[in-house]
Amino acid sequence: MRKMNERATQALYDQQLISKEQYDQIINYRSWNIFSLNAELKLFLYLSVVLFTSGIGILIYDNIDTIGHTILISIVFILTIICYYLSFKKAPKFQKEQTHFESPVMEYIVLTANLLTCIFISYLQLQYNTFGTNYGLATIIPTTIGLFSAYYFDNKNVLSLAITGLAAYIGLTVTPQSLLQNDLYNTNSLSYAAIGLGSVLIAWNYYSSKINLKTHFSFIFLTFALHLIGISCLNNLVDNDYYFLFTILLILSTYYFYRRSYEIKSVSIFAFAVLYGFIGLNISFFKIIDSINLNDFFEFLIILSPFYSIGFIYLFVQMIKKFNAEIKK
């Protein structure tokens, strides 16, 4: 890696894109062997927030009978207020463009405040039945607070948390365990709702770009929309009699996210768009073969499947390489 950087610097100097003084400064800087711990420190901060809020939950669970509900919920409430107070005190003035706290630690204080809000409202509902049988309020209230916090404090982590809460509000189960059990959407109506939510996220992202409102949130909105629409279409391709309509929807969405991945230069959106499209077209193809009873042809395809899979993997890798080359131009 070091030799590659040296060759790149030498090439810039040879092409007279940098001066001799700039070249010497770059070489001198690299000789110090300085490296950044920014990503590692942020990871530890994130883990600290997760461990802290998890510890609050465990504390409530283990001491519910000894400490008492009133004391526990008061502690959570006070901690939440302190976190919000610090967040508003240190937050820069709201702007439609991207803003930053002076200290990156404050971003995780905002995240802690929103996680504690979820714990506080859930505790109110479970223990005191505050919202009665209207359980959706226990989800939509912290989700609304989360959306406000995400935009006001310009926090992507809180935005992801809020969109997840929005998905939970309409009845989606988004845990990894459910995904592994193939129970992400247990009914067609839920998958329709997922497609609807994905479409709303796309529409809001489009509107935000028009009014220049936090356009750097595009990646998060498009990522959620891609997975909601992609997985829902695949679910309906398998279980729905009108799979042809969802094949068309999947083709259109794949093309849309394919184009958007180039615009925002996102490898992950590009890769998942291609994967969802490939899997969906294969499901549709085999369902068509099965419907017209081409059993002999089906057996022939099974024989060719190893070569077919290897060919796709090779083509997929080449597409990723081409994508990376094009977005770096």
Q: What are the distances in angstroms from CA 256 to CA 54, 197, 229, 242? A: 38, 16, 12, 22
Higher pLDDT, 46 or 310: 310
**pLDDT for res 296:** 65
Extract the tokens encoding 104: 């990156």
For residues 4-23, give the mean pLDDT.
71
What's the total number of domains in the chain? 3
Q: Percent of the chain having pLDDT more than 90?
A: 42
The answer on 128 and 89 residing in a single domain is yes
Residue 214 banded pLDDT, cuts 50, 70, 90:
very high
Extract the tokens encoding 260: 């958007």
Final residue of a structural domain among 134, 169, 204? 169
| Chain centre distance of CA 162 | 11
The answer on 209 and 125 residing in a single domain is no
* N-term to C-term CA, the chain: 21
DSSP 8-state code for residue 185: S
What is the rounded distance in angstroms from the CA atom of residue 24 to the CA atom of residue 33?
Answer: 15
The answer on 30 and 143 residing in a single domain is no
The answer on 212 and 104 residing in a single domain is no
The answer on 95 and 212 residing in a single domain is no
Residue 88 banded pLDDT, cuts 50, 70, 90:
very high
The answer on 269 and 165 residing in a single domain is no
Q: Answer yes or no: is pLDDT of 115 > 50.
A: yes
Residue 177 banded pLDDT, cuts 50, 70, 90:
very low
Enclosing domain of residue 301: 176-329
Higher pLDDT, 169 or 5: 169
The answer on 89 and 181 residing in a single domain is no
Q: What are phi and psi of 64, to 5 degrees?
A: -60, -30
**pLDDT for res 268:** 94
**The amino acid at 156:** K
Q: Percent of the chain having pLDDT more than 70?
A: 80
**The amino acid at 169:** Y
The answer on 127 and 82 residing in a single domain is yes
Q: What are phi and psi of 20, to 5 degrees?
A: -60, -40
The answer on 202 and 91 residing in a single domain is no
What is the rounded distance in angstroms from the CA atom of residue 326 to the CA atom of residue 75?
Answer: 53
Final residue of a structural domain among 109, 139, 169? 169
Final residue of a structural domain among 169, 193, 223? 169
CB of 245 within 8 A of CB of 200? Answer: no
The answer on 324 and 182 residing in a single domain is yes
